[in-house]
A = this chain, B = another copy of it.
Amino acid sequence: MKPTNNRQIRLIRRPQGMPEPDDFLITEEPVPQPGNGEVLVRTVYLSVDPYMRGRMRDVKSYVPPFPLNEVLTGGVVGQVVESRHPDYQTGDLVTGMLEWADYSVSTGEKLNKIPEGPAPASAALSVLGMPGLTAYFGLLDIGKPQAGETVVVSGAAGAVGSIVGQIAKLKGCQVVGIAGSREKVDYLTKELGFDAVINYREESVPEALDKVCPKGVDVYFDNVGGPISDAVLARINYQARIPLCGQISLYNQENPEPGPRVQGALLINSALMKGFIVSDYQEHFQEGMAQLSQWVGEGKIRYRENIVDGLENTIAAFQGLFKGENIGKQLVRVS
- What's the Cα separation between A297 and B44 when bound, in Å? 69
**The one of B256, B268, B272, B277 that contacts A264, using a Cβ cutoff of 8 Å:** B256
Q: CB distance A275 to B268 under 8 Å? A: yes
Contact status of A272 and B274, CB under 8 A, knowing A260-B258, A263-B229, A264-B256: yes
Q: CB distance B267 to A275 under 8 Å? A: yes
- Chain B residue, CB-CB nearest to A239: B280
Against B, the Cβ 8 Å flags (1 = close, 0 = not) of A247-275 are 10010000010111111111111111111
Q: Does A276 contact B (CB under 8 A)?
A: yes
- Chain B residue, CB-CB nearest to A260: B258
- Looking at the assembled complex, report how far the CB atom of A183 sits from the nearest CB atom of chain B, in whole angstroms: 28
* Residue from the set A256, A271, A273, A280 with the largest chain B CB neighbour count within 10 Å: A273
Q: CB distance A269 to B264 under 8 Å? A: no
Inside 8 A of A250's CB, which chain B residues have their CB? 261, 264
**The one of B262, B269, B277 that contacts A262, using a Cβ cutoff of 8 Å:** B262
Q: CB distance A266 to B275 under 8 Å? A: yes
- Looking at the assembled complex, report how far the CB atom of A274 sits from the nearest CB atom of chain B, in whole angstroms: 4
**The one of B60, B259, B266, B269 that contacts A261, using a Cβ cutoff of 8 Å:** B259
Q: Does A222 contact B (CB under 8 A)?
A: yes
Inside 8 A of A238's CB, which chain B residues have their CB? 62
Main SS at interface, chain A: mixed
Could you say how many copies of this chain the assembly holds?
2
Inside 8 A of A268's CB, which chain B residues have their CB? 54, 60-62, 275
Inside 8 A of A273's CB, which chain B residues have their CB? 263, 266, 272-274
- Chain B residue, CB-CB nearest to A245: B267
Inside 8 A of A61's CB, which chain B residues have their CB? 268
Q: Which bucket holds chain A's interface residue count?
A: 35 or more
Instruction: Kindly identify, within residues 233 to 249 of chain A, every residue whose CB is under 8 Å from any CB belonging to chain B.
Output: 238-239, 244-247
Inside 8 A of A263's CB, which chain B residues have their CB? 222, 225, 229, 244, 247, 262, 273, 275
Q: CB distance B264 to A274 under 8 Å? A: no
- Chain B residue, CB-CB nearest to A244: B267
Q: CB distance A62 to B256 under 8 Å? A: no
* Residue from the set A229, A260, A268 with the largest chain B CB neighbour count within 10 Å: A268
**The one of B244, B256, B280 that contacts A266, using a Cβ cutoff of 8 Å:** B244
Inside 8 A of A264's CB, which chain B residues have their CB? 225, 247, 250, 256
Q: CB distance B272 to A272 under 8 Å? A: yes
Inside 8 A of A60's CB, which chain B residues have their CB? 268
- Looking at the assembled complex, report how far the CB atom of A48 sits from the nearest CB atom of chain B, in whole angstroms: 19
User: What 7 additional pairs, Cβ within 8 angstroms, besides A62-B238, A225-B263, A258-B260?
Assistant: A54-B268, A256-B260, A258-B258, A263-B273, A265-B275, A266-B274, A272-B275
- Give 8 nearest A-B pairs by CB, closest first: A267-B275, A266-B275, A258-B258, A272-B274, A61-B268, A259-B261, A273-B273, A244-B267
